[in-house]
Amino acid sequence: MFTEFAQYVLNGLVLGALIALPALGLTLIFSVQGFVNFSVAAQMTVGAYAAWLAGAYLGWSSILMLLFAFLVPGMLGVAADRLALAPIRRQSGAHTALMLAVVSIALNLAIENALRFLFGSNLNSFDIPVERNLQIWGLSVGPQQLRNLVTALLIAVALAAFFSLTRWGKAMRAVADNTDLARLKGIEPRNLANLATFIGMGLAGIGGSLLAIDTSVDPSTGSRLILVIFSASVLGGLTSLYGAVLGALIIGVMGEVAMIAMPPVYQSLTAFLAILFILLVKPTGLLVGAEGVRK
Amino acid sequence: MTSYLLFIGTIAAIYSLLSLGLVVSWGQTGMVNLGLVGFFGLGAYCSALLTKFGAPIGVGWVAGAALSAAIGVAFCLLTRTLRGDYLAIVTLGFGEGLRLVELNERWLTGGSDGISGIRAPLKDTLGDLYPWFYFALAWALVALVVWVLTRILGSPFGRALRAVRDDEKIAAVAGKNVLRLKCQAFGIGAALFGLAGALYAHLTSYISPDNFVVQLTIYIFLAVTAGGYSRLIGAVFGSLAVLTILESSRFAAEYIPGLSAVQIASLREFAIAVALIVIMQLRPQGVFGLRNERAGAGAIDATSSAPTVATASK
C-alpha cells in the first residue's frame, strides 16, 4: 500500500519536473510583461519538433538537441511577440491584458497550424531503445524519465543561478516582485521583455522536448498539457518563479495520486479542480511577492 | 448548392447567437469567457439527451439554455474573487474539462462516437422545405435575441453593466451590486451559448466532442472583435464575415495544387488566427466601433485603447 502510494508520488514528481519548465517560462513572461501568454503551449510543441529534427532526424548529441530545443522556440517566441503582441501592448487600456490573452490564443492556434502544415498530424517518436525500468526500494522508474528529471533539475539550478547572480536576472526578479519599485530603481520592464520572452519560450521548448522524448511529437503535444501548466503557474501565484516550480510539483503529484480514485483520462481535470479549489481559498495563488499580485 | 448555402446560413445564425452572448459578457461587462465552447457543448448535449428520452424539442432548447445559464451563474459566483486573467484561464479550463467529460463518460455522451440521430423539429412534415424552415427559425431567434438585448442593454441595467466594465470600483461606490450584475451578464451570455448549442445539435442531428474544440472560441472572438466588441449588430455582422472567410477559404484552398487535406485545413485555421491578430492590431474597436455608450466614469478603455485609429475613422 505504502509502496504503491510512494510510486504515485514518484511518478508525480517526475511529471511535475517536466511541467515546471514551461510553467517557469509562463510565469517569467507574465512577471515581466503582465499578461498571460497562451502561446506557450505551441512553443512547447515547437521545442518538441526542434528536438525531434535535431535528435531523431539529424542525429545530434543530446546536449546540442536540447540547446536547439531552447533556441528555436526562444527566437520564434520573440519574433511572434514582436509581430503579433507588441502592437497590441502599445494600445494601453483597461482591457489590454485580456486582449493580449485572446490574441495569444490566436497566436497559439496559428503556430500549431503552421506546424501541422509543415509536419502533418502524424505522431513522430524518437528512436530510443526500450530500456528496462530501474527498481529502487520497490519503486520503479524509467531511465529516460530519470534523465528528464535530472535535466529539468539542472536547468532549474542554472536558472536559479542566472536569477540570483546576473544583473539581468536580478532585474527580472525585481520586476516580478514589485514593478513600481523596480521602475523607481531605474529598471524599465519593457527592456527586459525580449529577454524574458526568449528565456520563457526557450524553457517551454525544452519542457516540450523532454515531454516528447518521453511520449511522442505531434502538433498538439503542447496543447494537451496547457491546462496542467497553467494550473501549476496559477497555483504558484503567476509571478513567483519558485511558486511555479512548487506549483508544478504539487500539480504533478496531485494528478498522479488522484489516479488512485479517478480514471487517468481526468488527470488534467484534477489539475483544474485543484487550482479552482486553491484559488477559492487564496485568490492570489500560493506564493506572491511582498506587494501582492502585479497590477 | 442551395442546401449548402442554407446550411452555412443557419450556422451563421448559430454563430451570431454565440457572438451575442459574448457581447453581453465580454463587450458589455468586460468578463472574458474563453470557455464559451463548453457552454455551447452543455446546451447541445442537454437538448440532445432530453429529446432522445422523449422531451419535446422546444423543451430541450429551453433546458439547454437554462442549464447553461445556471452553470454560468454558479461559475461566476465561484470565481468572484478572481482577477480578469485568472478568469480567462479558469474559463478555458472549464471548457476543456467539459470536453474531457464528454469524451470519457461514454454511458451518457457516447464518448468520441458522440450522439447521432438527434431529432429535428417537423422534419418529416416539411420534407424539402425543412432546411428553409430551420434557417428562418434560427434567424428569427437571432432577431428576437437582438431585440430583447437592445431593450435590456439600453435600460439602466445595461448602463450599470458598462459601468462595471469601465470601472468596477466606481460602479460599486455608486451603489451598484457589482457581483450580481456580473453574474447576470455572465448568465445571459451562457444562456445564449447554451441555446446556440441546442440549435446546433438539432441542425446537424449529430454531436461529438470534436464539435466543441477551442477553435470555435477563436472564431467567435474573431466575429465579435471584427464587428466591434460591444455592439450587437457587430456580432451578427462579424459572424457572417467569419463564416465567409472560413467557407471561401475552403474553395480557395482547392486552387492551391499539391496540398493534402490536413494542410488545407491547417492553412484555413492559420488564416483565421492571423486575421484575428491583424484585426486586433489595426482596428481593435471593430468595424462598427464603439458608440457613445460609455457609463461616463471610466472613459479610458475605448478612446485611449486606439487613439490614432479612432480619430482617423471619425
The stretches of chain B forming alpha helices (DSSP H) are 2-22, 36-52, 57-78, 84-104, 106-109, 123-126, 130-154, 156-166, 168-173, 178-204, 214-226, 232-254, 261-282, 300-303, 307-312
List of chain A residues whose C-beta atoms are within 8 Å of the C-beta of residue B264: none
Contact B96 A227 (CB under 8 A): yes
pLDDT tens digit string along A14-73?
A: 889 888 999 999 999 988 888 889 999 999 999 999 999 998 888 888 889 999 999 999
> What pLDDT shows up at residue B73?
95
Angle between helices B130-154 and B232-254 (to 10 degrees): 140
A–B CB contacts, 8 A cutoff, strictly below:
154
Where is pLDDT greater, at A90 or B42?
Answer: B42
**Residue with grid cell 489516479, as numbered in its chain:** A259
Given a cut of 80, whether residue B221 has pLDDT beyond it is yes
Q: Which of A89, A103, A265, A267 is best to mutate for the B interface (most B CBs within 10 A)?
A: A103
> What pLDDT shows up at residue B290?
59
Asked if B92 is an interface residue toward chain A (Cβ–Cβ < 8 A), one would say yes
Given a cut of 90, whether residue B88 has pLDDT beyond it is no
Cα separation of B233 and A4, whole Å?
Answer: 59
CB–CB of B17/B24 below 8 Å? no
pLDDT tens digit string along A217-240?
A: 999 888 888 888 888 888 887 778
> What pLDDT shows up at residue B247?
86
Q: Which residue of A has its CA nearest to B34?
A: A102
Q: Cβ contacts of residue B264 below 8 Å, gap of 6+? A: B250, B253, B254, B256
Contact A114 B266 (CB under 8 A): yes
List of chain A residues whose C-beta atoms are within 8 Å of the C-beta of residue B260: 120
Cα separation of A253 and B62, whole Å?
Answer: 42
Cα separation of A249 and A239, whole Å?
Answer: 17
Distance to chain B for A107, nearest Cα, Å? 7
Question: What is the H or E stretch that residue A237 is in?
Answer: none
Q: Please, which pLDDT band fits residue B283 given cuts at 50, 70 and 90?
A: confident
Given a cut of 90, whether residue B59 has pLDDT beyond it is yes
> What pLDDT shows up at residue B297?
39
Grid cell, residue B208, equals 461529438
Contact A276 B93 (CB under 8 A): yes
Grid cell, residue A177, equals 516582485
| ipTM of this predicted structure | 0.83
CB–CB of A178/A14 below 8 Å? no
> What pLDDT shows up at residue A288?
59
Cα separation of B124 and A291, whole Å?
Answer: 66
CA A197 to chain centre: 12
Where is pLDDT greater, at B56 or B1?
Answer: B56
Contact A96 B305 (CB under 8 A): yes
Number of CB atoms found within 10 A of residue A271's CB: 29
List of chain B residues whose C-beta atoms are within 8 Å of the C-beta of residue A121: 262
Question: What is the H or E stretch that residue B167 is in?
Answer: none
Q: Is B165 exposed, middle or buried (0-12, 13-18, 19+ CB in 10 A)?
A: buried
Model pTM? 0.84
> What pLDDT shows up at residue A93?
66
CB–CB of A204/A21 below 8 Å? yes
User: Which residues of chain A are modeled with pLDDT < 70?
Assistant: 92-95, 287-295
Given a cut of 60, whether residue B43 has pLDDT beyond it is yes
Where is pLDDT greater, at A199 or B313?
Answer: A199
List of chain B residues whose C-beta atoms are within 8 Å of the C-beta of residue A84: 277, 281
Cα separation of B240 and B233, whole Å?
Answer: 11
Of B82, B263, B304, the CB nearest to A279: B82
Q: Which of A82, A91, A239 is best to mutate for the B interface (most B CBs within 10 A)?
A: A91
List of chain B residues whose C-beta atoms are within 8 Å of the C-beta of residue A101: 32, 34, 85, 88
List of chain A residues whose C-beta atoms are within 8 Å of the C-beta of residue B100: 265-266, 268-269
Q: What is the mean pLDDT of chain B?
A: 85
pLDDT tens digit string along B117-170?
A: 888 877 777 778 888 999 999 999 999 999 999 999 999 999 999 988 888 888
Where is pLDDT greater, at A185 or B302?
Answer: A185
Contact B269 A109 (CB under 8 A): yes
Of A113, A227, A265, the CB nearest to B270: A113
Given a cut of 50, whether residue B299 has pLDDT beyond it is no
Grid cell, residue A41, equals 503551449
The 3-state DSSP class for residue B97 equals helix
What percent of chain A clears pLDDT 90, i.e. is strictly above it? Answer: 24
What is the bridge-based pairing of β-strands B206-207 and B115-116?
antiparallel
Of B81, B94, B270, the CB nearest to A114: B270
Distance to chain A for B139, nearest Cα, Å? 28
CA B171 to chain centre: 26
The pair phi, psi for residue A205, each rounded to 5°, is -60, -45
Of B92, B94, B262, the CB nearest to A116: B262
